[in-house]
Amino acid sequence: MVTAIVIFDVDESKLEIAKSAIAKFVCEIDKNEVDTLTYISYQDAANPLHFTHFMEFRDETAHQAHRNSNHVREFTSVLYPCCLEPPNPSYLSTFARKGAMPK
């Protein structure tokens, strides 16, 4: 499994553009990426300009298919100009997980 997060802040004047692009993007993932197991966009409750995207891919092949898709290219072409700094993914490895810890 490949797990990643992307954290970014958007310009206040471009918030609605970013939110629309995110909603469309997540719909495209839902329709087209069966091996993307999880894709969640979180908007910070205290700072609505701050977003965290959490994603899990079945394997590296699924991750690369996601990264190389037309909807990722379209999404980033709209989202990145809305961001205060370019978003960069952080790749995660599981350290502890509910239900998987020794008792």
Asked whether residue 100 is domain-assigned, the answer is: no
Interval 9-19: pLDDT, tens: 999 999 999 99
Asked whether residue 99 is domain-assigned, the answer is: no
Angle at which helices 15-32 and 70-79 pack, to 10 degrees? 170
What contacts 75, CB < 8 A, 6 or more positions away?
A: 21, 22, 24, 25, 28
Q: Helix/strand/coil (H, E, C) string of 10-30?
A: ECHHHHHHHHHHHHHHHHHHH
Number of domains in the chain: 1
What is the percentage of the chain residues whose pLDDT exceeds 70? Answer: 99
Asked whether residue 12 is domain-assigned, the answer is: yes
CA distance 56 to 69: 16
Residue 99 has a pLDDT of 84
State the residue for tokens 């206040």. Answer: 12
Interval 26-58: pLDDT, tens: 999 999 999 999 999 999 999 999 999 999 999
Asked whether residue 11 is domain-assigned, the answer is: yes
Asked whether residue 97 is domain-assigned, the answer is: no
- The domain that holds 26 is classified in CATH as 3.30.70.100
Residue 101 has a pLDDT of 73
The range of the structural domain enclosing residue 83 comes to 2-92
Asked whether residue 27 is domain-assigned, the answer is: yes
